[in-house]
Amino acid sequence: MDFNKLSKFVKNIGTQYGVPCYDISVYYNYINVFYKKRGFTNFKNKFKAFGRNMYLFHSGAKLMCCVALMRLIECGKASLDDLVRTYIPEIQTDITIKEMMHEFSRTFDYEVKDFNFTNMTKLIEKISGQSFYEYVDLEILKPLKMKSTSFELNDKNKKHIAFQYNFNSESQNYIESDKSVEALFNKNKGCVITTVDDYSRFCNVLCSGGTMRNGYKLLDKESIDSLINDILYNETEKNDAFVCLGYNGGLILIDIKKKITIVYAQHAQNMPAEQLKMYPQLRKLTYECIGVDTWSKGYNMFP
């Protein structure tokens, strides 16, 4: 493996696309083979990024919630065919848990009727008999040693959340948001606060068949296959791979066949069309550097 081409490309993302701060991690065959942190936490004052940048992951939160629910189903506490209103009576439609997971993973609106984060966490609580935060902490975060990940904003993590930027079409550059961390978090209800290091570890467990090297089983391989190929909304048509582009421009790729995961994070919204060209190039170079075939078709969003 030779990551020189990918390293050069990643180094120039800030210059070429104007992104102020970004992190990327690549796992291959269960090993972290590439990690880069570039840019600044405060672009205007040129402060270098500190060691543990945290990001608000939106689509990443959806994946984690669906994995938490699938774990309960795998344990026999519920069925994919159960009606959601069996557990949440205020939902009057005849939607099943499987359909709920798909719609929740598909929507960009966290407050959309019936399929929002509030109802998803309520469903997990009803089935597990625990609070959502307690269940996720005990069943996912602690076993996977995701010490920098939380669904709640607190005094500790808010100091490490990367600055938020928005692309300004008039000036053609990213401008730092004037909103506080609290305001950003409240606006983006349902996101998970995490680091690229933490979240890539979670993705790697899914990519490696659901079982950690210490023997802890997050999910059966069959459950992961079902999630990726049959249940979750997916931005690729390729079998055995999950791809999603997040609200802040982050990218999650899990290729369970080639054993590759890519987690890329930034805090830059309203991306110009030109930046969208970055993502297929990032994928292409990653696969080339690892030395495996790159799929050329199958992206719904990125040709």
CB of 35 closer than 8 Å to CB of 204: no
- Spatial neighbors of 42 by CB under 8 A, at least 6 apart, are 163, 176
The pLDDT of residue 243: 92
Q: Calculate the alpha carbon distances from 165 to 5, 40, 100 in Å.
A: 27, 12, 32
- Residue 39's DSSP bridge partners are 21
Domains of the chain in start order, with CATH, are 4-39+54-290 (3.40.710.10)
165-168/268-269 β-pairing: parallel
Q: Dihedral through CA 166, CA 170, CA 171, CA 174, nearest 10? A: 10
- Spatial neighbors of 226 by CB under 8 A, at least 6 apart, are 70
The pLDDT of residue 303: 42
What is the pTM for the complete model shown? 0.91
pLDDT digits (tens, 9 = 90+) for 82-91: 999 999 999 9
Task: Tell how far CA 73 is from the center of its chain.
Answer: 21
Low-confidence ranges of the chain (pLDDT < 70): 39-52, 108-112, 294-303
pLDDT digits (tens, 9 = 90+) for 159-173: 888 888 888 888 788
182's enclosing H/E stretch is: helix 181-187
Q: Count other C-beta atoms under 10 Å from residue 126's C-beta.
A: 15
Q: For the residues of 72-115, what is the DSSP string, one character each?
A: HHHTTSS-TTSBGGGT-TT--S--BHHHHHHHHHH-S-TTSSSS
The pLDDT of residue 294: 64
Instruction: Tabulate helix, strand, coil % of the chain (nearest 5).
Output: 40, 20, 40
The pLDDT of residue 99: 95
pLDDT digits (tens, 9 = 90+) for 45-66: 554 555 458 899 988 999 999 9
Q: Distance between CA atoms of 109 and 116, rounded to whole angstroms?
A: 7
31-42/47-48 β-pairing: antiparallel
Comparing C-alpha atoms, which of 114, 117, 116 is closest to residue 132? 117
- Residue 24's DSSP bridge partners are 36, 264
The pLDDT of residue 3: 92
The pLDDT of residue 21: 82
The pLDDT of residue 40: 61
